[in-house]
Amino acid sequence: MEKRFLHFPRLPSGGGDFILDSLMDAIIDLLQQNALMPRADMARLLDMELEEVESAIAKLEAEGIVLGYQAIINREKYDTDKVTAIIEVKITPERDGGFDRIASRIAKFEEVQSCYLVSGGYDLLIVIEAANLRNAAAFVAEKLSTIEAVQATATHFRLKTYKENGAFHLFESVTERLSVSP
């Protein structure tokens, strides 16, 4: 298999001056599974030096490949009044710039957590969070719908979460393994 290399700044420790692409992929995988994993553990898992892992992550952050790290909150247990809604938005694209300008205008609202341009019967799919139902309704009625290019919206409120960002809210039962087996 052909190996590809990413350019990588020479390490002060005198380590290698590039890192295998596949190792970068592996680091991203580990960060996505658990961004808090100690970097020394990552180094052991990937058979790298600690400094190599640290500088690889610094590079991912500097290049904007890793945009941030967040906690996944179980809303059944904390801040239960908070409302999440998924809103389908149909908009009129502009002659110059298509959907981008209007999409970024919508995305800038604090309530909007995610904003995607999608194929299908509507154009933007946005995910909003609001302190309560009243605030969510106000956002849709007063802010979103009043934007001139917005033709129509359909709001779906979250009732229950089963899985979020790869994490299950209802856990699978742990299988009981024999404690020693051949």
Partner 1 sequence: MSIEIADHVRDIPRSGIRDFFEIVQTMDDVISLGIGEPDFATPWHIREAAIYALERGRTGYTSNLGLPRLRRSISDYVRKKFDVRYEPLSEVLVSVGVSESIDLALRALLNPGDEVLYHEPCYVSYAPSITLARGVARPIETRAEDGFRLTAPALEKAVSPRTRVLMMNFPTNPTGATMTPAELEEIAAVCIRHNLVVMTDEIYSELTFDEGHHTSIASLPGMKERTVFLHGVSKAFAMTGWRIGFACAPVELIEAMMKIHQYAILCAPIMGQDATIEALERGDESVAKMRSEYQMRRNFITRALNDMGLDCPKPKGSFYVFPKISSTGLTSREFSMRLLNEEKVAVVPGTAFGPSGEGHVRCSFATGLDQIKVAMERMAAFVSRVSSTKP
Which spans of this chain sit near partner 1 (rule: CB under 8 A)?
1, 26, 41, 44-47, 172, 175, 177-182
Cβ closest to partner 1, residue 54 vs residue 88: 54
How far, CA to CA in Å, does 149 sit from each of 40, 81, 98, 103, 138? 51, 31, 11, 10, 18
Cβ closest to partner 1, residue 96 vs residue 172: 172
| Nearest distance from C-beta of residue 135 to partner 1, angstroms | 37
| Nearest distance from C-beta of residue 145 to partner 1, angstroms | 40
| Nearest distance from C-beta of residue 80 to partner 1, angstroms | 30
| Nearest distance from C-beta of residue 153 to partner 1, angstroms | 35
Cβ closest to partner 1, residue 159 vs residue 178: 178
Cβ closest to partner 1, residue 45 vs residue 131: 45
